[in-house]
């Protein structure tokens, strides 16, 4: 159950709504007290990439938690995701502008999967907007060819994952079953993936569920301008940083998270030994505790 923000001397927000930021509407959801320090969770790419259990645990720890959909995902402005008219740096600027809109204090910014790439660039480009950084299940380079020292997607999982026929995107049951099958291939919880996919489908505006489910696979990022490279700038990060990675992740294998932890000064690496690409509910309290320590 998502607690409503409590009335305070600071801004008070509806639990779920959209906010105008830099000329677009971003779908956002709040957990906890709007007067408390902020944790800004950029989904990977929809907000539901961040588990309810983790958001609730952070809120219990005294944080005002805001998770949001990136452009062309969830309740946020959707135009033509096959040809995005923005760059990765625009998405990073969205995160900084949203943080400043929500609270005058710097925010703890977190990103998962491709959202973790947004969070890295946001912290590098807008250091004054953020007080801490959490990166989950991500890597220090853009989608596409990886650096020689980084492990690429595991072919044994990718071949069956991407060889599957697409579902009927207008059929909620078929879309949820497709997500559950993908989770099983990746080593995630199929039941959790089925439930989340159904929720994503339910909150997809208009008649474009395919757009948002494609976003879940990072398809939009393949068309996104992610230049210039940012890996070489990671050593300049001065924010307290937590890197969370599933030991069994075949999509961004664990060596990617280990590289991030090595290259960001003072970063802590939290390995989830039994996890794959998603943060399981069973790990929510441990991840929240590590984030709250930053």
Please identify which residue in the block is written with the tokens 């969370």.
244
Asked if residue 190 belongs to a domain, the reply is no
Q: pLDDT by residue (tens digit) across 31-51? A: 998 889 999 998 777 899 999
Confidence of residue 4 (pLDDT cuts 50, 70, 90): very low
Q: Residue 11: its pLDDT value, please?
A: 53
CATH number at residue 134: 3.40.50.1820
**Two structure tokens written together for 34:** 């709007």
Region 221-247 average pLDDT: 92
In a domain, 200, yes or no: no
Query: Does the pLDDT value for residue 65 go beyond 50?
Result: yes
- Which of 126-135, 148-157, 162-171, 230-239 has the least mean pLDDT? 162-171
Query: Is residue 194 situated within a structural domain?
Result: no
Residue 102 has pLDDT above 50, yes or no: yes
Maximum Cα–Cα distance across the chain = 54
The pLDDT tens digits of the residues spanning 127-139 come to 999 999 999 999 9
Q: What is the CA radius of gyration of the chain?
A: 18
Question: Among candidates 149, 111, 67, 51, which has minimal Cα distance to 239?
Answer: 111
Residue 1 reports pLDDT greater than 70 = no
| 89 vs 160: CA distance, rounded Å | 32
Direct distance between the N- and C-terminal alpha carbons of the chain, in angstroms, rounded to an integer = 26
Cis amide prior to 95 (ω within 30 degrees): no
pLDDT band at 204 (very low <50, low <70, confident <90, very high): confident
Mean pLDDT of the chain: 89
**Rounded average pLDDT over 203-226:** 62
Domain count, the chain: 1
Range of the domain at 50: 16-166+207-293
Confidence of residue 110 (pLDDT cuts 50, 70, 90): very high
DSSP code, position 192? H
In a domain, 215, yes or no: yes
Q: What is the pLDDT of residue 3?
A: 39
* Residue 10 or 136, more confident: 136
Please check whether residue 198 lies inside any domain of the structure.
Answer: no
Residue 102 backbone dihedrals phi, psi, to 5 degrees? -80, -30
Whether residue 114 contacts residue 139, with contact meaning beta carbons closer than 8 Å, is answered with no
pLDDT digits (tens, 9 = 90+) for 246-284: 999 999 999 999 999 999 999 999 999 999 999 999 999
Classify residue 187: in a domain, yes or no.
no
In a domain, 218, yes or no: yes
């Amino acid at each position: 159950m998502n607690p409503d923000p409590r009335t305070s001397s600071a801004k008070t927000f509806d639990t779920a709504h959209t906010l105008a930021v830099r000329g677009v509407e971003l779908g956002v959801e709040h957990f906890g007290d709007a007067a408390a320090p902020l944790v800004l969770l950029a989904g990977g790419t929809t907000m539901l990439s961040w588990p309810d259990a983790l958001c609730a645990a952070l809120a219990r720890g005294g944080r005002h938690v805001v998770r949001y959909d990136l452009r062309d995902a969830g309740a946020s402005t959707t135009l033509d995701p096959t040809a995005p008219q923005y760059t990765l740096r625009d998405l990073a600027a969205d995160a900084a502008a949203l943080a400043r809109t929500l609270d005058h204090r710097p925010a703890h910014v977190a990103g998962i999967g491709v959202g973790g790439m947004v969070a890295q660039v946001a912290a590098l480009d807008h250091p004054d907007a953020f007080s801490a950084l959490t990166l989950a299940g991500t890597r220090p380079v853009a989608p596409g060819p990886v650096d020689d020292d980084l492990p690429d997607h595991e072919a044994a999982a990718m071949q069956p994952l991407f060889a599957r026929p697409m579902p009927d995107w207008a059929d909620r049951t078929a879309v949820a079953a497709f997500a559950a099958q993908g989770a099983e291939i990746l080593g995630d919880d199929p039941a959790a993936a089925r439930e989340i996919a159904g929720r994503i489908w339910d909150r997809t505006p208009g008649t474009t569920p395919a757009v948002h489910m494609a976003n879940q696979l990072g398809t939009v990022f393949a068309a996104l301008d992610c230049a210039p490279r940012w890996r070489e700038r990671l050593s300049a990060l001065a924010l307290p940083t937590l890197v969370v990675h599933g030991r069994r992740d075949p999509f961004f294998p664990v060596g990617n998270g280990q590289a991030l932890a090595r290259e960001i000064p003072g970063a802590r690496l939290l390995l989830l030994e039994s996890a794959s690409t998603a943060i399981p509910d069973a790990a929510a309290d441990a991840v929240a505790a590590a984030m709250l320590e930053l």
